């Protein structure tokens, strides 16, 4: 089920194209504490364009990660994103119980671009207006082939996925956990992964809509390797901002700008469409997470092109933690990578 019910907490597992992140949280009187954290980098050819190319390598790294964090761990919350997932928001007459469920699923079937036999659907009522007697409903449809490939991967690693979410909703949960949502501001949560960029728009203090782009950090990574004639390891360090003065910064800036053209074009279309459908003149700010938040010059370039202020996300902002959990990792550097896994770890199941 994509939207889980509240009860006990489970570990948040984010399997991305370049790394696996695992987060465990504990709730204490309404506050959250980080109890376990782990990350494993994946070879760049293991997951390409959301397609699993090397299942065994992922399972090996995932099992090693579990052994490091909590060998007893069995239940996890996972998420999916990209071309195999469709999200939509509808406004319909207020209904309840079985009548509401039937009406919502009927609408979902009409709107899904996939054959209903080939997808798993779910929904969540986000807002009910007593004044207009209308309700806003979020719909999610995931292609079974796409969904099952990830569920089976988790099962083959000896784990049980008790929640299947979407990256967009997980990122929203992480933001809601760590920031005060201002109903008077239009906010865009932008997560730039290696192959996919997820944008979640917040309007009137509520989740409004989401858009996934089939573009991310991979093209910048590949271009850096080519232009600087360096290997994968050095290219990876470069897009993480770890090379500093050992690489020509002017050339790096020019390379990042050139390689980002497709991403920028997609972002401009997504923001233009949102402003048109939401009937608003401007987005007030962007909160940027994912590996793209660490790529040198990229946040500043996006800010300049979209003319919207950008803040780097910190999904650990309101979460207590022992610095020793991070071992050789720096919390402020790794935090933007944890938006999805923190959002998943904040979910609960019966």
329 band by pLDDT with thresholds 50, 70 and 90: confident
The pLDDT of residue 150 is 92
Mean predicted lDDT score pLDDT of the chain: 91
Domain boundaries, the chain: 8-220+257-349
Give first-to-last CA distance, the chain, whole Å.
12
How many residues make up the chain in this entry?
350
pLDDT attached to residue 5 = 46
CB 58 within 8 A of CB 47: yes
SS3 content of the chain, % helix, strand, coil (to 5): 40, 30, 30
Per-residue confidence (pLDDT) for residue 7, from 0 to 100: 59
Is the pLDDT at 26 greater than 90, yes or no? yes
Place of tokens 């948040």: 12
- The larger pLDDT score, comparing residue 332 to residue 183, is at 183
Following DSSP, what letter does each residue of 87-121 receive, concatenated?
A: EEEEEEE---HHHHHHHHHHHHHHH-SS-GGGEEE
Please say if the pLDDT value at position 194 is more than 80. Answer: yes
Q: Which runs of consecutive H residues, i.e. helices, occur in the chain? A: 55-69, 97-111, 144-156, 167-178, 218-228, 232-239, 249-259, 261-278, 298-306, 331-334, 339-345
Q: How many CB atoms lie within 10 A of CB 143?
A: 20
Q: Return the ∠ at Cα 286 (arms to 248 and 218), rounded to 5°.
A: 45
Q: Provide the pLDDT for residue 120.
A: 87
Span 288-303, average pLDDT: 97
pLDDT score recorded for residue 140 = 86
pLDDT confidence of residue 30? 80
pLDDT for the residue numbered 91: 87
pLDDT in tens, 203-222: 999 999 899 999 999 999 99
* Tokens standing for residue 75: 């239940």
Q: Residue 70: exposed, middle, or buried by beta-carbon count in 10 A (0-12, 13-18, 19+)?
A: middle
> What are the phi and psi torsion angles at 308 (to 5°)?
-135, 130
Centre a 10 Å sphere on the Cβ of residue 68 and count the other Cβ atoms it contains.
15
The pTM assigned to this predicted structure is: 0.91
CA distances in angstroms from 40 to 22, 57, 156, 169, 276, listed in the order given? 9, 11, 18, 23, 40
pLDDT digits (tens, 9 = 90+) for 53-77: 999 999 999 999 999 999 999 999 9
**pLDDT at residue 3 is higher than 60:** no
Residues 6+ apart with CB under 8 A from 229: none
Tokens of 144: 């079974």
Task: Tell me phi and psi for residue 144, to 5 degrees.
Answer: -60, -40
Tokens 């590996």, located at residue:
291
CATH code assigned to 8-220+257-349: 3.30.420.40
**What is the torsion angle, in degrees rounded to the nearest 10, for the CA atoms of residue 179, residue 35, residue 171 and residue 77?**
-150
Q: How confident is the model at residue 114 (pLDDT cuts 50, 70, 90)?
A: low
Any idea which residue has 């089976």 for tokens?
Answer: 152
Residue 121 or residue 16, greater confidence: 16
User: What span, in angstroms and rounded, lies between the C-alpha atoms of 58 and 55?
Assistant: 5
Q: Is the pLDDT of residue 6 over 60?
A: no
- Least confidently predicted of 52-66, 113-127, 302-316, 321-335: 113-127
Cβ neighbors of 193 (< 8 A, separation 6 or more) are 16, 17, 18, 81, 167, 216, 217, 290, 291, 292
Share of the chain above pLDDT 70, in %: 97
Give the per-residue pLDDT at 128.
Answer: 87
pLDDT of 294 above 50: yes
């Amino acid at each position: 089920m994509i939207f889980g019910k509240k009860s006990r907490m489970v570990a948040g597992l984010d399997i991305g194209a370049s790394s696996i992140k695992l987060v465990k949280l504990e709730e204490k009187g309404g506050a959250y504490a980080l109890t376990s954290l782990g990350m494993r980098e994946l070879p760049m050819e293991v997951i390409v364009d959301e397609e699993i190319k090397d299942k065994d390598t992922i399972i090996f790294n995932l099992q090693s990660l579990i052994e490091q964090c909590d060998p007893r761990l069995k239940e996890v919350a996972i998420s999916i994103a990209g071309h195999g997932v469709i999200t939509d928001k509808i406004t319909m007459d207020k209904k309840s119980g079985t009548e509401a469920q039937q009406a919502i699923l009927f609408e979902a079937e009409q709107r899904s671009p996939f054959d209903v036999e080939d997808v798993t659907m779910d929904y969540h009522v986000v807002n009910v207006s007593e004044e207009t007697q209308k309700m806003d409903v979020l719909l999610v449809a995931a292609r079974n082939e796409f969904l099952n490939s990830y569920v089976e991967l988790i099962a083959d690693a000896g784990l049980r996925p008790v929640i299947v979410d979407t990256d967009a909703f997980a990122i929203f949960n992480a933001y809601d956990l760590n920031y005060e949502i201002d109903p008077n501001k239009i906010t865009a949560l932008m997560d730039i992964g290696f192959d996919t960029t997820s944008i979640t728009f917040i309007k009137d203090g509520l989740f409004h809509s989401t858009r996934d782009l089939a573009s991310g950090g991979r093209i910048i990574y590949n271009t850096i390797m080519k232009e600087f004639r360096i290997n994968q390891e050095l290219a990876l360090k470069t897009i993480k901002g770890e090379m500093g003065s050992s690489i020509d910064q002017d050339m790096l800036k020019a390379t990042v700008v050139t390689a980002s053209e497709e991403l920028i074009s997609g972002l401009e279309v997504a923001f233009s469409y949102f402003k048109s459908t939401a009937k608003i003149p401007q987005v007030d700010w962007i909160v940027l997470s994912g590996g793209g938040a660490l790529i040198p010059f990229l946040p500043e370039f996006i800010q300049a092109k979209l003319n919207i202020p950008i803040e780097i996300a910190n999904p650990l902002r309101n979460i207590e933690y022992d610095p020793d959990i991070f071992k050789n990792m720096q919390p402020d550097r790794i935090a933007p990578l944890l938006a999805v896994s923190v959002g998943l770890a904040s979910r609960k199941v019966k």
